[in-house]
Amino acid sequence: MSTRTVIYHMLRPDSVAVIGAAREPQKIGHQVVKNLIVGGFPKDKIYPVNPYANEILGLKCYPTVKDIPYKVDLAVIVVPAKIVPKVLYDCSEKGVKAVAIISSGFKEVGNVKLEKEIVEIAHKGGFRILGPNIVGICDTVKSVNASFCQGLPLPGNIAFITQSGALAIALVGWTKLKRIGLSDLVSIGNKADIDENDLIDFFGDDPNTRVITAYLEGIKNGKRFLEIAKKVTLKKPIVILKAGKAERTLGAIRSHTGSLAGSDIAYEAAFKQSGVLRASTFLELFDWAVALSKLSVPSGDNVVILTNGGGAGVMATDASEVYNIKLMDIPKDLAERLRKFMPPFGSVYNPIDLTGMANKEWYKGALKELLKDERVDSVIVLYCHTAVTKPKDIGDAILEAISETGIRKPIVVSLIGGEECLDECERLTSKGVPCYESQEKAVAALGALYEYKRNVERIKVRTIPKLVVNKSEVRNIIKEVIEDGRNVLTASEATVVAKLYGIPVLEKPLAKTLDEALSIANKVGYPVVLEVESPQVLHKTDVGAIYVNIKNEQELREKYNKIIENVRRKVPNADIKGIIVRKMAEEGKEVIIGMHRDPIFGPLIMFGMGGILVELFRDVSFRVAPLSIEDVDEMIKETKAYRVIKGFRGEPESDIECIKETILRVAKLAIDFPEISDIDINPFFVYEKGKGGLAIDVKIILRKD
């Protein structure tokens, strides 16, 4: 059975067994049975399992799951942790399709072994596990409250996946209060088996879900997440609240679920690359999700704000800048038509200010003009409660404008005021027009829709480059380094590796003797740089192991000997492999290109401004490899360095193509050799357009494990 099919049976089962069902009302085993009944799941398809009871809540009870004479789609387990393996064997014999384990006492309390064991039992038995340590499953499509959440959420088309159980229970109540409908609310707990990736993949094809949302503290398999999220985003929006940005948070997460959290930078990069919208609070997450679940993607960028309050218009304009909303300049003919719906002191400068005198007819008339005008793509309707017009009038104006024109463009609304506004807001939202308590929330929600639109357009085209490299020779070098008991490549080794991967790199020919050094210098041409090649010498300047701008043979002889002398004296244990004799490189613009292998997502590629600036301004951007050509383009443009290499203040443009290719080749090197933990090209000199670039220093470090 495919994972999707398993999840279908899990979330939308035809029958549910509750293993560990209890008679005592305070027990979770009792609550789950009760919640299933109260939630509206067919009573004759609920099978409590408890060897010591005949009946629970009026339902016949079975000693074991094997004793149930009917097909069992989903088994919910609430027995103590140590009994879980036993009942899983029963499930296996019974042939249940999916198992949700509410029981805790596994990895979250250090019991890693038991958690591994139950997954193995499940896989051998041909079924899959959700959990353990979950609150359960709430599905409104088939009315399945297989959880200890009090009541099901309201039905709707937003799926919510949560790694926090407490949040699951709390949000059932909160979303009800806010009248937000969910298709499913799934607690994933320790995600020993089924994880966020499986669920995102499932909801991606689920006709009952229009938006996928999640609260996550970590992602289990970063590579798979990227693949699935990219694919699903093209079908429907994914909004994730990924907690754990703060340094301290990592501590908090570890202490409470034992989840291995990758660096937040990697998450940020992965979300960008896969088109995932990242919310920073659950309020924001649901504000966005409501708009995304009700509106279709606008056809263009032109947004118009319609208001009866200048102040609300001003604040919405501020917010538009924050949320990347483009306010349209109103064309003259449209302005003329809008003038009919306002007093002489109204304004047709977007925001369109109908003034506090605005009544239902004006709102409706103006909105109809905006809907009918093909140049307008989306509308933000704002209303401050006045003595002149009731919120209900504004709601009617909007709904009538839509039905009378028959045109559906994205419209978001904010009705600002008291109880009446709140009621009308809920009515409008339920009619498919998302309404919010403040102008900023309305703008932010439309902003999320536009971000989704841009993301889809962006990730639709991804070109994977074809690069010719010499993999086998690099493999040999790495093998030698490992055999040598080292994890850091020497400068000349790293140079050779870079060269084999097609990265333009400053050659670092190695001289074993003074004569060799002289002959190399003659070949590359003076002035040259001399530096020691020795794994033990890390800070060459400090010990006098590097000299630059050596102008002639005499100077070379002198400095050659001096280096050897210095190193012998200051690093007595140094194994001197030779002396590098290299050209003085022509100076270019300094950039930095690097790679660090993230435990969750793999190779995290970095690009940014070089020199002192890297540290000071952190003008760097990141993406997870494998990289498409578009990824590289975007990551370069994200930095301020881009302005410098593009030709800043009249300076000529740099060879950006060369940077792009170097980044792609670094990414390929990281993909091809999982042994490499870090690559650091700093500085990389980039020259004028057409003249390429040069890696001056290349550091390559291997993983220690």
**Binders of a second copy among 339-368, rule CB under 8 A?**
344-345, 347, 349, 351, 353, 356
**By CB under 8 A, what part of segment 46-65 binds a second copy?**
none
**By CB under 8 A, what part of segment 437-456 binds a second copy?**
437-438, 440
Shortest distance in whole angstroms from residue 524 CB to a second copy: 30
Q: Work out which of 317, 578, 633, 646 binds a second copy, going by CB under 8 A.
A: 317
With respect to a second copy, which residue has the nearer C-beta, 93 or 321?
A: 321
Under the binding rule (CB under 8 A), the answer on residue 145 touching a second copy is no
- CA distances (Å), 162 to each of 39, 167, 233, 257, in order? 20, 7, 19, 13
Under the binding rule (CB under 8 A), the answer on residue 505 touching a second copy is no
With respect to a second copy, which residue has the nearer C-beta, 281 or 522?
A: 281
Whole-angstrom Cα distance, residue 32 to residue 600?
A: 35
With respect to a second copy, which residue has the nearer C-beta, 195 or 206?
A: 195
Reading the block at residue 610, the tokens are 């070089």
**C-alpha 21: how far from chain center:** 39
- CA distances (Å), 251 to each of 163, 244, 261, 566, in order? 16, 9, 10, 45
3-state SS track over 581-646: EEECCCCCEEEEEEEEEECCCEEEEEEEECCHHHHHHCCEEEEECCCCHHHHHHHHHCCCHHHHHC
With respect to a second copy, which residue has the nearer C-beta, 1 or 283?
A: 283
Under the binding rule (CB under 8 A), the answer on residue 170 touching a second copy is yes
**By CB under 8 A, what part of segment 183-222 binds a second copy?**
215, 217
Using the contact rule CB under 8 A, the part of the chain among 118-126, 171-179, 290-298, 550-558 near a second copy is 171-179
Under the binding rule (CB under 8 A), the answer on residue 263 touching a second copy is no
Shortest distance in whole angstroms from residue 230 CB to a second copy: 26
Using the contact rule CB under 8 A, the part of the chain among 287-295, 314-322, 451-459, 628-636 near a second copy is 314-322
Shortest distance in whole angstroms from residue 246 CB to a second copy: 4
Q: Work out which of 207, 649, 704, 705 binds a second copy, going by CB under 8 A.
A: 649
Q: Work out which of 309, 434, 603, 608 binds a second copy, going by CB under 8 A.
A: 309
Number of amino acids touching a second copy (CB under 8 A): 86
With respect to a second copy, which residue has the nearer C-beta, 32 or 581?
A: 32
Q: How many CB atoms lie within 10 A of CB 204?
A: 20
**By CB under 8 A, what part of segment 374-413 binds a second copy?**
384-387
Q: Work out which of 416, 449, 600, 667 binds a second copy, going by CB under 8 A.
A: 416
Contacts of 640 (CB under 8 A, 6+ apart): 609, 617, 619
Whole-angstrom Cα distance, residue 597 to residue 679?
A: 9
Nearest of 76, 130, 125, 123 to residue 106 by alpha carbon: 130
Shortest distance in whole angstroms from residue 367 CB to a second copy: 18
**By CB under 8 A, what part of segment 90-129 binds a second copy?**
108-109
**By CB under 8 A, what part of segment 554-613 binds a second copy?**
612-613
Shortest distance in whole angstroms from residue 482 CB to a second copy: 33
Q: Work out which of 617, 637, 653, 657 binds a second copy, going by CB under 8 A.
A: 617
Q: Work out which of 50, 197, 320, 490 binds a second copy, going by CB under 8 A.
A: 320
Shortest distance in whole angstroms from residue 155 CB to a second copy: 16
Q: Work out which of 95, 126, 155, 251 binds a second copy, going by CB under 8 A.
A: 251
Contacts of 554 (CB under 8 A, 6+ apart): none
In Å, the largest CA–CA distance within the chain is: 102
Q: How many CB atoms lie within 10 A of CB 451?
A: 18
- CA distances (Å), 415 to each of 283, 394, 640, in order? 18, 9, 40
Shortest distance in whole angstroms from residue 102 CB to a second copy: 12
Under the binding rule (CB under 8 A), the answer on residue 653 touching a second copy is no
Q: Reduced to 3 states, what is the DSSP secondary structure of residue 569? A: helix
Whole-angstrom Cα distance, residue 258 to residue 254?
A: 4
- CA distances (Å), 525 to each of 496, 512, 528, 581, 665, in order? 20, 18, 7, 10, 29
DSSP letters, 393-438, are HHHHHHHHHHHHHT----EEEEEESSHHHHHHHHHHHHTT--EESS
Nearest of 222, 221, 204, 154 to residue 184 by alpha carbon: 154
Under the binding rule (CB under 8 A), the answer on residue 551 touching a second copy is no
